[in-house]
Amino acid sequence: MKIVFAGTPEFSAHAMRAIVAAGHEIVLVLTQPDRRAGRGMHLKASPTKAEALKRNIPVLQPLTLKRDHVDVEKSTKAQEIYQHLAGLEFDAMVVVAYGLILPQEILDLASQNHRHGCFNIHASLLPRWRGAAPIQRAIERGDIKSGISIMQMDAGLDTGDVVLVGELKISPQETSASLHDRLADMGSELMVRVLSSIEQGTPLLRTAQALEGVTYANKILKNEAAIQWQLSAIEIERRIRAFNPFPGAISSLDHEPMKFWNACLPNKIAASQTKNPGEVLEINDGSVFVQCGDGVIEVLEMQKPGGKRMSAGACLSPYRSQEKIMQFQKDSVD
């Protein structure tokens, strides 16, 4: 089949590769405009754009798809995109973590002239965790399962009918990085199955989302990275895993900001009533134990500014001989 594909990060590029490998032709890619990144702040293409360029697939990067936008230049560009899609020969549209809202008129285009509509890979078990950051919020909340919902898109925020679902368990050691990779594999596989069903003429079973159990996964903000040590150990431990890789949990020791990449809940050290939240209780060869508002966490992996990720114990080994109290402080993150 001929597919219009809309997506931006690696999660969507993964799906794009699977769709092409399954024998479908992607005739157009919509992706976010290039962003400045890295120390030099050079413009960088999204993973989806990079994948499309390798395959010589045409790419469009509008700032909006709304033809009635108040900005005349953006509105004119959206009009050009609409006209291009209206005249393009394609069978269906696939949207994966695109980052722009598709107006109803675009969704209607995807269903006209014998087209099959617009389908989305969403990384949660809808209606739980609609929105921008379902993977991170599931880990932060302590969910025991996640999955993929292949959804027939409508104009709402992840409210369309679900046509296929896959489920998996979230392990106690899961980070957003590891869950992302597992869900990317599952989402790609399920999307290919849906496209295969459409191509073979097999009717899709559309299931309306339940009205109960709706939750929203708000976008992850950089200022959430600062560790609030007065929270409970379980809340902090979940956030450290949820914010790996972005934005990365951060706290300072002796005015040196450090990133926390992994942690767990220990059973060898009990919380102390006489210690302050953020106080380092013990440093061993592999890990570091830190007092929280309620309980203790065992930090497993850390990183100093400009350094490499390493075991927390190795990262803080220079501090082991100090007699003074070591206290992590909450950073303000812009």
pLDDT digits (tens, 9 = 90+) for 166-196: 999 999 999 999 999 999 999 999 999 999 9
- H helices of the chain, in order, are 10-21, 47-54, 72-86, 104-109, 134-141, 176-200, 233-242, 312-315
Q: 334 pLDDT band (50/70/90 cuts)?
A: low
* Confidence at residue 28, expressed as pLDDT on a 0 to 100 scale: 98
Same domain, 19 and 97: yes
Give CA–CA dist 162/179, Å, rounded: 21
Within a domain: residue 101? yes
Same domain, 203 and 233: no
Same domain, 130 and 19: yes
* Confidence at residue 79, expressed as pLDDT on a 0 to 100 scale: 95
Q: 3 pLDDT band (50/70/90 cuts)?
A: very high
More confident residue, 240 or 72: 240
Same domain, 233 and 212: no
Same domain, 138 and 151: yes
| Residue 264 CB contacts under 8 Å (≥ 6 apart), including other chains | 172, 173, 237, 297, 298, 300
* Kind of pairing between the strands at 35-37 and 2-7: unpaired
Enumerate the known binding-site residues for (6S)-5,6,7,8-tetrahydrofolate: 124-127
pTM of the entire predicted model: 0.93
Average pLDDT, the chain: 93
Structural domain containing residue 323: 222-329
Within a domain: residue 199? yes
Same domain, 105 and 240: no
Within a domain: residue 291? yes
* Confidence at residue 319, expressed as pLDDT on a 0 to 100 scale: 81
Domain boundary residue among 163, 187, 217? 217
Same domain, 243 and 132: no
User: What are residue 332's phi and psi, to 5 degrees?
Assistant: -95, 130
Q: Is the pLDDT of residue 269 over 80?
A: no
Same domain, 94 and 186: yes
CATH code, domain with 299: 3.10.25.10
Which residue has 């399954």 as its token pair? 22
Q: Is the pLDDT of residue 308 over 80?
A: yes
Same domain, 33 and 86: yes
Domain boundary residue among 200, 217, 234? 217
Q: Is the pLDDT of residue 272 over 70?
A: no
Within a domain: residue 334? no
Same domain, 179 and 230: no
Domain boundary residue among 184, 217, 250? 217
Give CA–CA dist 302/280, Å, rounded: 14
Q: Count the Cβ atoms, other than its own, within 10 Å of residue 88.
A: 14
Mean pLDDT value of segment 321-330 = 80
Give CA–CA dist 267/237, Å, rounded: 14
Our count of domains for the chain comes to 2
Same domain, 256 and 155: no
Same domain, 300 and 206: no
Strand order in the sheet with 2-7: 59-60, 25-30, 2-7, 92-96, 118-122, 145-152, 162-169
* Confidence at residue 271, expressed as pLDDT on a 0 to 100 scale: 58
Within a domain: residue 116? yes
Task: Kindly state the percentage of the chain with pLDDT values over 70.
Answer: 96
Within a domain: residue 40? yes
* Confidence at residue 230, expressed as pLDDT on a 0 to 100 scale: 95
Enumerate the known binding-site residues: 124-127
CATH code, domain with 165: 3.40.50.170
Within a domain: residue 168? yes
Q: 125 pLDDT band (50/70/90 cuts)?
A: very high
Q: Is the pLDDT of residue 153 over 70?
A: yes
Within a domain: residue 313? yes
Give CA–CA dist 283/219, Å, rounded: 34
Give CA–CA dist 246/240, Å, rounded: 10
Give CA–CA dist 185/171, Å, rounded: 17
* Confidence at residue 43, expressed as pLDDT on a 0 to 100 scale: 87
* Confidence at residue 175, expressed as pLDDT on a 0 to 100 scale: 97
Q: How far is CA 74 from the centre of its chain?
A: 27
